[in-house]
Structure 1
Amino acid sequence: MDNKLKIFKSVAHHSSFTKAAEQLFISQPAISKAIRNLEDEYNTTFFIRNRNSIELTEDGKSFLVYVKRILDVYEEIENQFIHKDNQLPDIITFGASTTLASYIIPKIIAKFRTQYPKTSFQIESDNSEHIENLILNQQLNFGVTEGKNSNPKLSFKKLIKDEIVLVTSAKNNKINKENISLKKLQEIQIIKRESGSGTREIIQETLQKHNINSLNIAVTLNSTEAIKNYLYYSDAYALLSIHAVREDLINNKLKIIDVKGFSVERWFYFVSRTGYKSNMMDYFEKFILKNYNF
């Protein structure tokens, strides 16, 4: 029964049989059959099948509430009896904000799998706001995000410290010194992240502390990689995580410009729903804390 409920939850989450099949690594016909069996069992229709999409019926929306509660109980049982001695599941699924998913999490997972090669990972990557909403909606159980949300329904634990630095192309000679003033920071062309980005939010908070309401924004892009690729071919600047630009600094593709009297430090947080407990989640969190040393 729990497998059929997991299938239902995935289909409801993605509004797609195809995407649910990809997530769960089973065939689309198997997904369709499981949903049909559930609908027959409860003598109702959970999904409206449109030509190019599906959506939950009112019964489907009600059923999803119960499914989430039931699957939470199943997980508690597994944590209590199956994973009580840190026996790991076949697949660990969690969320990670884009900076973490691109530059930090892959190294941690690679190290984890050298010790536990039978454990696979499925990672949902998006900006911090989106990942935290997925956790709130029980579509994910935990994640790692940038910045600290004050939502009392979420629990945040400090994980890894980060610094935001001003960078530009190593070929940019418009500023022939290694530091600039806060006034100059407001004049240069800045490339920034999209709304909902944890990086963008922490930068905005720090700017406001220095009574800076806005910067000279040239372009807004939705990923750090896109911003870096823009910088390689321009004389613009961006405020990015030091973790994201480390290789670029080593390879002399980008350089850091210090801003006098201005520094942006933050933490990456391990996030879960308040009150949610999982031995596996606790073990993975401890593994990150113990092994993150690069």
Structure 2
Amino acid sequence: MADRRLQVFAAVAKYGSFTRAAEHLFMTQPAVTFQIKQLEEHFNTRLLDRGHGKVTLTHAGQIVQNFAERILDLSDEMESRVAELTDELAGPINIGTSMTIAGYWLPAIIDEFKQKYPKVIPRVVVGNSLLTEERVAARELDLGFIEIAADQPNVRRLTGARDEIMLICTPDHPLAGRQQVEPPDLVGHTLINRDEGNSVRDLTEDWFASAGVDVGELDVSAELGSLASVKQLVVRGMGYAFASRAAIQRELREGSLVAIHMSPPLYNSLEVIMPRDKFCSRLIETFAEHAVECLARRSEEIARNLR
């Protein structure tokens, strides 16, 4: 309900860029420029200085920014309070998530939530766990899903479940007959690794290091940001990889991959995170509670299937 011009201005002031503001508001850059022009015409003064590829606030712009933030916060709280009285959850919720959770956990969470609250509009941004945590801490997102234990002081965390990390390879790979593997067992075998900042990579590198295996000496053939690409390379026999058990259910059923337990066992912590100091609406709290329950239930189902 807040003035759209103030919403756009606050985003430009926050990101220092018309382009970045447009991306975060799901608008075109000309539309952002038009809203700023209207606001400057309303106050009959320039609010932003544009130059050298960066946008800075004028003195008047700083005043407008301070009031805009307060007005927008009050508007959000008003919307939430009224929605609570009418007992109807509605409106957008900005969600960040890691790729694995986006592909194998989040669809069911959103589907079940939308069945209960059809007027809620989830807006999902996918990135690795580190990036998602940073954006939630910066209050760019209402809520996030990550696969590592959050350590940001500005983040509140709820642990939904644990997901076992397993070694995957083809059925004819030399490691395929093992019940479990230890770090020294993998020396000399080719690894298909994940990209930096990925939670599985961070955890497995710690797993190697704790056993005295230098990760710098591992035979790494590729580093990929896409788990789907990693699995395709493994299926083609290019090496082994690590993946969470939730992400390999189809391949295990089809028989294109086998999964081997790691010793000592390794787990992802599936967490729901929210900004600690931000006013938290009933919509965000309700979605977070629902997500935690869904993660725990789905994790138990997957564990039963592997027994």
TM-score (norm. length: structure 1):
0.84
Find the counterpart in structure 2 of residue 265 from structure 1: 267
* Distance (Å, rounded) in 2 between the aligned partners of 1:268 and 1:235: 29
- Deviation of 1:290 after TM superposition, in Å, equals 3.1
Cα-to-partner distance string for 1:236-261 (whole Å, 9 max, x where unaligned): 111111111111111222111234x3
In the aligned structure 1, how far is the partner of 2:124 from the partner of 2:145?
A: 10
Structure 1 residue aligned with 2:165: 164
Unaligned stretches of 5+ residues in structure 2: 299-307
Residue in structure 2 matched with residue 77 of structure 1 by the alignment: 78
Match in the other structure for 2:55: 56
Any runs of at least 4 consecutive aligned residues in structure 1 with deviations exceeding 6 A, and if so which? none
Residue of structure 1 in register with 2:237 after alignment: 234
Picking from 273, 276, 281, the partner of 1:278 is 281
Q: Counterpart of 1:243?
A: 246
Moved more, 129-138 or 84-93: 84-93
For 2:66 and 2:201, the matched residues in 1 are separated by 33
Q: What is the alpha-carbon distance in structure 1 between the residues aligned to residue 70 and residue 212 of structure 2?
A: 46
Shift in Å at residue 284 of structure 1? 0.4
Name the aligned partner's letter for residue 44 of structure 1.
R
Q: CA–CA distance in 1 between the matches of 2:182 and 2:236?
A: 24
Residue-by-residue CA offset, 1:161-196 (whole Å, 9 max, x unaligned): 2111100134x3333513344322232111111111
What amino acid sits opposite 1:267 in the alignment?
S
* Structure 1 residue 173 corresponds to structure 2 residue 176: no
Give the aligned partner of residue 293 of structure 2.
290
> Any unmatched runs of 5+ in structure 1?
none
Question: 2:202 corresponds to which residue?
Answer: 201
- 1:34 is displaced (CA, Å) by 1.3
Counterpart CA distance in 1 for 2:109 and 2:204 is 26
SS in 2 for 1:140: coil
Q: Deviations over 1:79-103 (max 9, x none)?
A: 2333356522232221111111111
In structure 2, how many angstroms separate the alpha carbons of the residues matched to 1:226 and 1:84? 47
Question: For 1:66-215, what aligned pairs fall within 5 Å after superposition?
Answer: 67-68=68-69, 70-83=71-84, 86-170=87-171, 172-175=172-175, 177-179=177-179, 180-214=181-215, 215=218
Quick check: 1:225 aligned with 2:231? no
Task: Report which stretch shifted further, 247-256 or 210-219.
Answer: 210-219
In structure 2, what is the Cα distance between the partners aligned to 1:19 and 1:59?
A: 18
* Greater mean deviation of Cα atoms: 241-250 or 182-191: 182-191
Alignment: residue pair count: 288
From the superposition, tell whether residues 96 and 2 of structure 1 become closer, same or farther in structure 2 (CA, over 3 Å). Answer: farther
Q: CA deviation at 1:125?
A: 0.7
Query: Relative to structure 1, is the Cα distance of residues 69 and 252 closer, same or farther in structure 2, using a 3 angstrom cutoff?
Result: farther
Are the structure 2 counterparts of residues 3 and 283 from structure 1 closer, same or farther at C-alpha, using a change threshold of 3 Å? same
**In proportion to residue count, which structure has more helix?**
2
Shift of 1:27: 6.4
8 Å CA contact retained: 1:68, 1:138: no
CA distance in 2, matches of 1:118, 1:76: 18
**Mapped contact 2:136–2:144 kept (Cα < 8 A):** yes
> What is the CA–CA distance in structure 2 between the aligned matches of 1:21 and 1:129, rounded to whole Å?
20
Provide the rounded CA distance (Å) in 2 between the counterparts of 1:37 and 1:126. 34
Deviations, residues 187-208 of structure 1 (Å, cap 9, x unaligned): 2111111111122222223333
Partner AA of 2:46 in structure 1: T
Is contact 2:165-2:244 (8 Å) kept? yes
Q: How much has 1:234 moved relative to structure 2? A: 2.2
**Cα-to-partner distance string for 1:196-230 (whole Å, 9 max, x where unaligned):** 11222222233333333313322111121221122
* Structure-2 change in CA distance of 1:186 and 1:101 (3 Å): same
| Separation of aligned partners in 2, 1:219 and 1:208 | 20
The AA in structure 2 aligned to 1:238 is A
Q: Taking structure 2 as the reference length, what is the TM-score of the superposition?
A: 0.81
Could you tell which deviates more after superposition, 154-163 or 200-209?
A: 200-209
In 2: Cα distance, 1:249 partner to 1:139 partner: 37
Residues 66 and 201 (structure 1), Cα distance of their counterparts in 2 relative to 1, 3 Å cut = farther
